[in-house]
Amino acid sequence: MSGYRHQWWDQTPMDLPVGKIVCVGRNYAAHAVELNNPIPTEPLLFMKPASALTPLDAPIRLPQDRGAVHFETELAVLIGQRLTAAAETDARGAIIGYGLALDLTLRDLQARLKENGHPWERAKAFDGACPLSPFIPANQLGDPTALHFTLELDGTPRQRGDTGQMLTPILALITHISQTFTLEPGDVVLTGTPDGVGELASGQTLTLTLGGMRMGSTTVV
């Protein structure tokens, strides 16, 4: 896990295990359109293992000879309580922090997998495929339906996310996930990416902000 452990915004380590990463695909309509994908009628779920996690400020090392690697900036939700078949009120109480993540994707491989009707994990779950920021306590960010986040690529705005544009809002999403499998303390939910995704190249610098707060930056090597 490249030394990853959950941390608060002030760099204080958490006494919390590092769990699975549950991801939702196509939760912003504009992103589905930009990749010529149909807009789903219910959340499209997949997972990354804990071994995909790496600190956001660590350099991104592109996998060699595996085709294009794309960035997808996503709001990350940290779970602090066990959730099984939860209601939205339970989901709200279980969220202890918000951060930002990069859902790195082997796009050429993903396209081949999709063509054959195969799962995406080979393209999404490789080591280092989930750079993750420290977390801001949930009670410091307010309304989860009105959070804004950005990605700048070499100083130029590239992605802008607004949780109000999610097809499935955060609390409904976590409730939905908990109907299928249990969320444990230390699990992270990635809530989908807005449009503006693209290919990474060596030498690029990516800077992420959430609610106007700089969450960190990383460089591609």
What distances in angstroms separate CA 25 from CA 40, 105, 165, one per listed residue? 9, 12, 14
**Domain span at 50:** 21-219
Which H or E run includes 171? helix 170-180
Instruction: Give the pLDDT score at 37.
Output: 81
d(CA 198, CA 26): 15
Report yes or no on 79 lying in a domain.
yes
CATH code (residue 42): 3.90.850.10
Report yes or no on 9 lying in a domain.
no
**How many residues make up the chain in this entry?**
221
Report yes or no on 10 lying in a domain.
no
User: In this structure, what token pair is assigned to residue 154?
Assistant: 């070499």
User: In this structure, what token pair is assigned to residue 212?
Assistant: 């106007």
Report yes or no on 49 lying in a domain.
yes
Instruction: Give the pLDDT score at 205.
Output: 98
Low-confidence ranges of the chain (pLDDT < 50): 1
Report yes or no on 1 lying in a domain.
no
Report yes or no on 12 lying in a domain.
no
Using the 8-state DSSP alphabet, how is residue 115 labeled? Answer: H
Residue with tokens 């293992």: 49
pTM score, whole prediction: 0.95
User: In this structure, what token pair is assigned to residue 85?
Assistant: 């078949």
Instruction: Give the pLDDT score at 33.
Output: 82
Report yes or no on 141 lying in a domain.
yes
| Total number of domains in the chain | 1
d(CA 13, CA 83): 23
Report yes or no on 6 lying in a domain.
no
d(CA 36, CA 192): 16
Which H or E run includes 127? none
Instruction: Give the pLDDT score at 187.
Output: 98
| 128-183 pLDDT tens trace | 999 999 999 999 998 999 999 999 999 999 999 999 999 999 999 999 999 999 99
Listed residue (46, 77, 196) closest to 145, CA to CA: 77
